[in-house]
Structure 1
Amino acid sequence: MARNPERRAALLDAAIEVLADEGARGLTFRAVDARAAVPTGTSSNYFTDRDQLLSQVAERIFVRLTPEQGAIDGALAPEPSRELLVELMQWLARRMAAQRSCYLGLFELRLEATRRPDLRERLTEVLRSDLDENIRLHLAARMPGDADTVRLLYFALTGLLLDHFTVPGMHDERALDSLIETVVHRIVPEG
C-alpha cells in the first residue's frame, strides 16, 4: 500500500467532493481518481477497499472541520455567557458552510452507515469523540449549562444545518444566525 501522506490526503479530499456531489453510490475508486486528477488505479494503491476509503473519509472530514487550537482558545477567551454561546454557534455554522462539501459528505456517510456496520462503528466513534470534546471544552470554559445543554445544542445545530444545506428555502423567512440565536436562548439557561 502506498505511503505518500500528501497524496492520501488529496485522494480523501477528492472522495469528500465525490460524496458531496454524487452521494455514496457514486463513490468509486475511478471517480476519486478522476476528481483528484491522478492516474486510474491510484486510489486502489492507497485503500484496500471501499469500506476502508469510507472510514478514512470520515476521519478526514473531522480533520478539515476541526478548528486550530488557537482559534478555539481565542473563541473561549471572553467571559462565559449565553451571548458568547450564540456567537460561537454562529461561528461554527459559518465554518460548516465554508466546508459545505465536508458537511454534505458527512450526511452521506451517516446514511451509508445505516447499511454498513463497520462504517457505523467507526463513524459513531468519530462523532462520539467530537461530541465528548465539545462537552469537555464547554464545561472547562464554565459556559452556562451542562453536558446535556451541549447535546441539545448539537442536535439543534445538526438539524438546522441539515435543512440549510439540503432544503435551503425551508427557513428563508429567517436567517440561520437568527435561528441559532433563538435555539441558544431557548436551550441555554440564563446566567
Structure 2
Amino acid sequence: MRQNPARRTALLDAAIEVLAREGSRGLTLRALDTEAGVPTGTASNYFTNRADMLGQIMQRTRERLTPDASDVAETLKAEPTHELVKTFMHQIIERMRADRSSHLAMLELRLMATRSPELHAELTRFFRDELEGNINFHLDSGLPGDTTGMVLLYLAMFGLMVDDLTIPELLAPHQPERLVDEMVSRLLL
C-alpha cells in the first residue's frame, strides 16, 4: 500500500465528496481517481479493500470536522454557562454548514451500515467514541447539565442537522439558530 500522505488525504477528500454527492453506489475507485485528479488506478494503491477505505473516510471526516484546539481553548475562556453551551452548539452548526460534504458522507455511511455488519460495528465504535468524548468534554469543562442532558442534546442537534442538510426549508421558518438556543435551555437544566 502506498504511503504518500498528501495523496492519501486528497483521495479521502475526493471519497467524501463522491460519497456525499453520489452515495455509496457512486463510490468507486475510478470515481475517486477522477475526483482527485490522479491517474486511473491510483486509488487502488491506497486502500486494501472497500472496508478499509470506509474506515479511513470516517477518520478523515473526524479530522475535517474537529475544531482547532486553540479555538476551543479560546471559547472556553468564557464562564461555563448555558450561553457557552449555546456558543459551542452554534459552532457545530457553522462547521456543519461549512463542510456539508463530510456530514452528508457520514449520513451515507450510516445508511450503508444498516446493510453491512462489519461497517455497522466500526461505525458504532466510531460514534460511541465521539459521543463519549463529547460528554466527557462537557462534564470536564464544568458546563451545565448531566450525561442524560448531553445525550438528549446530541439527539436533538443531530435531528436539526439532518434536516438542515437535507431539507433546510422545513426548519427555516422556525429559525434553526433560535431552536439551538431553546434546545440548550430546555435540555440542560
TM-score between both structures, scaled by the size of structure 2:
0.97
Once residues 24 and 145 of structure 1 are traced to their aligned partners in structure 2, the CA distance between those partners, rounded to angstroms, is 38
AA aligned opposite 1:154: Y
Tell me by how many angstroms 1:24 deviates: 1.0
Moved over 6 A (4+): none
Q: Secondary structure at the match of 1:169?
A: helix
Once residues 5 and 125 of structure 1 are traced to their aligned partners in structure 2, the CA distance between those partners, rounded to angstroms, is 25
Tell me by how many angstroms 1:179 deviates: 1.1
Q: Which residue is equivalent to 1:136?
A: 136
Q: Which residue is equivalent to 2:80?
A: 80
Once residues 38 and 157 of structure 1 are traced to their aligned partners in structure 2, the CA distance between those partners, rounded to angstroms, is 37
Tell me by how many angstroms 1:9 deviates: 0.8
AA aligned opposite 2:59: E
AA aligned opposite 2:53: L
Deviation string 1:164-188 (CA, Å, 9 cap, x unpaired) is 1111111121222111111111101
AA aligned opposite 2:54: L
Deviation string 1:74-120 (CA, Å, 9 cap, x unpaired) is 22221111121111101111111111100000100110111111111
Pairwise CA RMSD: 1.0
Q: Which residue is equivalent to 2:35?
A: 35
Once residues 167 and 176 of structure 2 are traced to their aligned partners in structure 1, the CA distance between those partners, rounded to angstroms, is 13
1:1-191, aligned counterparts within 5 Å?
1-189=1-189
AA aligned opposite 1:174: H
Once residues 92 and 172 of structure 2 are traced to their aligned partners in structure 1, the CA distance between those partners, rounded to angstroms, is 20
**Unpaired segments of 5 or more residues in structure 1?**
none
Tell me by how many angstroms 1:140 deviates: 1.0
**Unpaired segments of 5 or more residues in structure 2?**
none
Identity fraction in percent: 47
Tell me by how many angstroms 1:122 deviates: 1.4
Once residues 95 and 14 of structure 2 are traced to their aligned partners in structure 1, the CA distance between those partners, rounded to angstroms, is 19
Once residues 64 and 91 of structure 2 are traced to their aligned partners in structure 1, the CA distance between those partners, rounded to angstroms, is 15
